[in-house]
Amino acid sequence: MHTPTTQARPSIYYTYEVFKPWLASAHPPQKRQQVVVVGAGPAGMVTALELARHGVASVVLSAELQFSQGSRAICFTRRSMEILQQVGVADRMTKGGLPWRFGNSFYRGQRVFRMEAPHDPDDRFFPIINVQQQYMEEYLHDACRANPLIDFRWGNKVTQVQQKNGYVELEVDTPEGPYTLESQWVVAADGGRSGIRTAMNLDMEGASYEGFFVIADIKIDLPFPTERRAYFDPNWNPGNTILMHREPNGIWRVDYQLPKGETPEDALKPESLKARIDAQLAMIGHAGLPWEMDWSSVYSARTLTLPDFVHGNVIFTGDAAHLLPIFGVRGANTAFQDAQSLGWHLAFVIKGLASEQLLANHSAERVGAAREIIDEAGKSTRFMAPPAGGFELLRNAVLSLSLTQDFVRPLYHWRTSRPHEYTHSQLNSLGDDNALFKTGPAHGAPPQNVRLGANDFLLDHLGGGFDLLYFTDESTIPETLQHTLTAVRAKGVPVKVIAVGSPQAVTGADITLADANGHLRERYGVPANGGAYLLRPDQHICARWLTLDATRLQAAFHTALPQ
């Protein structure tokens, strides 16, 4: 019998709601589901919302009865916000969040590096916004609850996973005992300690780093702006690194590395936490300022991924698929990209719009992203928490030089999570004009947002299927293209046509964007009428043409949806 706690989790700033468990006895017998999503974190809920957007129903299982403990993921990137916009929660994130774009690195009391993340006037969202994970989960959960295609089940813990012939049988334990749930597909979004990954005995590739970090959230009134602060080798914690972030609701996140040999249990003792936080506050000139502990935890840096996310009818996503170090805000931000990708790939396979090759493509693209992140995150980790020996010596040499030498300072800029470009995706069109463009987002790239007017951006108009941006100042989409689009839509493929560049509504287009000053056309590098971009349902570019014709449009869909 699974008995998750019914005690609301403690928090200074967040009131946890304890939800009622879903019990099989209160429902009719269970038919075989199309998709069961195991895990109700950011990866699981975004997958369910994206699936629903494409008309695919899912059951979401959470072992707990409430949102996760503590702030956990707090920094969300622009691309994450663009993805959250697609599933309808970006406004709430923006309302409660603290946006920022500057980071500071300190050594021996001197600011040795200031990171300035670019903020293009064409972007709706800031490079990063800080929101505590409980709020993000609440917003996503509200969106799931409002969606008739999502069957959300609290207090349902998966205890067994059996691959059958073309489906999966799950044993799900609940506060009234277990029941059996069959599903054609299972999305394992059950987090870094994925029980499904363990049960299936899957090995991850990559490295684990020595050393532990404490995460502590404290309520304190510090007079610093919302910027990241990193302190290297402070005298109260020699050789180690401390990070500080402002969170909403008067909370500050303090991360600090533990001296070698110290156990996580010792580090989390209240007296140990207090001594170290007091020492950090003293170092930054705020000794004695009152503070209150909200939540603390310990983590170690790992760069591990499954080499394939699809195993039979079980698909791994988010932390269940890979473990990434937090330097560079890569956990939840990578999970959103995984989930957005999985949502449409899986939905299109279920709807018969493409063969299972599409799922192989999802795995190839997202494993590629994980490997790229691991490569970058490895570099960051070797600077933030260097292994003993050569890396430690080099890091210390850079700290020392940085007091006087400009050229080493960029090494303080650990790379921040960014969307992976699927440059070599098998979905990219072969016969288009990608190579002939001088600018604009290329094959596999995420879209470039463009400001169209007050509170009006290009990405507000995209998503839910393929988007064809067709640049023209004429009154009609050419008939031959319209024929092709009709044929594609007749197969059930959702396509939206967005005409760009005409002051009047263009016949054959779903939306017309006037683009009176030609700015959108310029950002996309389209020199003349008849140019076009085809965006996948995750808005990544899969084809672009200087002059689009019906044959090549047909070919692009053929490539993007392998049969």
Partner 1 sequence: MTHPTHSISIPDLEVVYDRLATAIDEAGPEKASLFLVKLALLNANALRSADVFQTHVEAALRDL
Give me the residues that bind partner 1 (CB under 8 A), please: 393-394, 396-398, 400-401, 405, 407-408
* Closest distance to partner 1 from the beta carbon of 293 (Å): 37
Residue 223 or 407: the one with the smaller Cβ distance to partner 1 is 407
Rounded Cα–Cα distance for residues 263 and 256 (Å): 14
- Please report how close the Cβ of residue 382 comes to partner 1 at its closest, in angstroms: 14
Write down the least CB distance from residue 398 to partner 1, Å.
Answer: 7
Nearer residue to partner 1 within complex by CB, 387 or 562: 387
- Looking at the Cβ atoms of 408 and 445, the one nearer to partner 1 is 408
DSSP H/E element including 323? strand 322-323
**Least distance in angstroms from the C-beta of 397 to partner 1:** 4
Closer CB to partner 1, residue 393 or residue 487?
Answer: 393
Which amino acid does the sequence have at 152?
F
Q: Calculate ∠ Cα 503-508-510, nearest 5°.
A: 75
> Quick check: 444 and 357 in contact, CB under 8 A?
no
Rounded least distance, CB 213 to partner 1, Å: 24
Residue 530: CB atoms within 10 Å: 17
Radius of gyration of the chain (CA): 25
d(CA 385, CA 204): 22
Q: What's the closest the beta carbon of residue 241 comes to partner 1, in angstroms? A: 18
CB 372, min distance to partner 1, A: 21
**DSSP helix/strand/coil, 52:** helix
Least distance in Å: CB of 400 to partner 1? 6
The Cβ-side half-sphere exposure at 108, using a 13 Å CA radius, reads 8
What are φ and ψ of residue 316, in 5° steps? -90, 145
CB of 225 to partner 1, least distance (A): 32
Cβ nearer to partner 1, comparing 91 with 406: 406
**Cβ-based nearer residue to partner 1, 396 or 554:** 396
Nearer to partner 1, 57 or 401 (CB): 401
Nearer to partner 1, 284 or 394 (CB): 394
The three state secondary structure string of 160-219 is: EEEECCCCEEEEEECCCCCEEEEEEEEEECCCCCCHHHHHCCCCCEEEEEEEEEEEEEEE
Rounded distance between C-alpha atoms, residue 280 and residue 257, angstroms: 12
By DSSP bridging, strand 241-247 and strand 228-232 are: antiparallel
**Which residue pairs, CB below 8 angstroms and at least 24 apart, start in 366-369?**
366/309, 366/317, 366/321, 366/337, 366/338, 366/341, 366/342, 366/420, 367/305, 367/306, 367/307, 367/308, 367/309, 368/420, 368/422, 368/424, 369/334, 369/337, 369/338, 369/420
User: What gap in Å lies between CA 97 and CA 135, rounded to an integer?
Assistant: 10
Structure-block tokens of residue 61: 């299982």
Of the pair 398, 477, the CB lying nearest partner 1 is at: 398
Residue environment code for 387-401, b if the CB has 16+ CB neighbours within 10 A, otherwise e: eeeeeeeebeebbee
User: Which residue's CB is nearer to partner 1, number 40 or number 398?
Assistant: 398
Q: Are 335 and 41 in contact (CB under 8 A)?
A: yes
Instruction: Compute the distance between CA of residue 321 and CA of residue 40 in angstroms, rounded to an integer.
Output: 15
Please report, for residues 236, 422, 512, the alpha-carbon distance to residue 562 in angstroms, rounded to integers and kept in the order given: 58, 16, 30
Residues forming a β-bridge with 103 = 115, 228
SS3 of 395-414: HHHHHHHHCCCHHHHHHHCC
Whose Cβ is closer to partner 1: residue 287's or residue 393's?
Answer: 393
What backbone torsions phi and psi does residue 507 show, to the nearest 5 degrees? -65, 130
Burial 135-144 (b: 16+ CB within 10 A, else e): bbbbbbbebb
Which residue number, 396 or 426, has a Cβ lying nearer to partner 1? 396
Nearer to partner 1, 360 or 394 (CB): 394
Burial class (CB in 10 A: 0-12, 13-18, 19+), 110: exposed
Nearer to partner 1, 360 or 408 (CB): 408
